[in-house]
Amino acid sequence: MKVIEHIERAREPLFSYEIVPPPRGRSVKDLVDVVETLAPLNPPWIDVTSHSSTAYYQEKLDGSIQKRTLKKRPGTIGICGVIQNRFRIDTVAHVLCLGFSREETEDALIELSFLGIENVLALRGDSPNFQKQLRPDRTANHYAADLVGQVKDLNQGKFLDELDKAQPLNFCVGVAAYPEKHFEAASLKLDIQNLKRKVEAGADYIVTQMFFDNKKYFAFVEQCRAAGITVPIIPGLKVLKSVPQLKSIPKNFYIDLPDALVDEITENPNHAAEVGERWTRRQTEELLAAGVPGVHYYVLNDVHTVARIVKSFK
């Protein structure tokens, strides 16, 4: 079932989750254990992130330096297939612009369709740490709106090459939004205009970057509605669980942490995880009371805390 159908048919709060493929060389078992923990909560869908290749340099025995590229977290399509077909939970595969050609994207979408997956999240993605050379016979999507357009073309049976009797694909498309502004945008107003372009290209719903102050989400939604964006906007939350995250989360995700949260953790460093769990539970309660279409949790490696929070609302 499509994400937008889950939202339209919901009779109780929706709680969805986002997980990350294991590092290269690691077993998928740990991720399966995460899904087994989430499955009893009856998630409407689970997102699986995608990662482009990165470059690193390796010194050879003769002293020369060799540049190599690899995907540190492969397996998005395979993991989506396992979740969808083994656990019977709808999945949302993340699809990126940067690091992938449009031809590679079309191949990935065809494979996802073969697996019965009907949902993708279209993202520009982070800039790779190397410049991937595009072959002369390949093309690229530069922005998420371009990627949304490609998916919607495939939904109409428009492939990159002329194909005889081509059958359309059938994807629901989500896009990302940033209540505190994307760090590359000159202003929040311009960022919302870019978001509107993604919706106009065919996005069916929006999921936000994590935030820790609900006021910023409510203000953001109000500005989006004023700009003419009418699709569902799902809030994204993450549980802060340690003192080092007071620095790492703002640095890595370009967001602010509320003074009250920082003060409480600073004053109780040995109970940071408890403080973070209470904070996310209060955020969830307020969001649900406001009638949000659902709450999306960035699980990473903290599935049991997230599960406890969700169970308290069921």
Reported as a single tens digit per residue, the pLDDT across 117-169 is: 999 999 998 765 445 666 776 788 999 999 999 999 999 999 998 888 889 99
Query: Residues 241, 303: contact at Cβ < 8 Å?
Result: no
Q: What is the CA radius of gyration of the chain?
A: 20
**For residue 69, what are the β-bridge partners?**
55
- Give CA–CA dist 145/175, Å, rounded: 9
How many beta carbons lie within 10 A of that of residue 119, not counting itself? 26
Which CA distances in Å does 158 have to 89, 114, 148, 204, 229?
Answer: 28, 17, 13, 19, 26
- Delineate the domains of the chain, giving CATH numbers in brackets: 3-311 (3.20.20.220)
Q: What is the pTM of this model?
A: 0.91
**For residue 55, what are the β-bridge partners?**
69
Q: Give the pLDDT confidence score for residue 164 in this predicted structure.
A: 82
**For residue 175, what are the β-bridge partners?**
122, 206
Q: Kindly report the CA angle at 209 between 206 and 214, in degrees rounded to 5? A: 95
Q: Give the pLDDT confidence score for residue 238 in this predicted structure.
A: 96
Regions in the chain scoring below 50 on pLDDT = 53-60, 62-68, 129-130
CB neighbour list of residue 237: distance below 8 Å, 6 or more residues apart: 210, 211, 280, 283, 284, 287, 295, 296, 297, 298
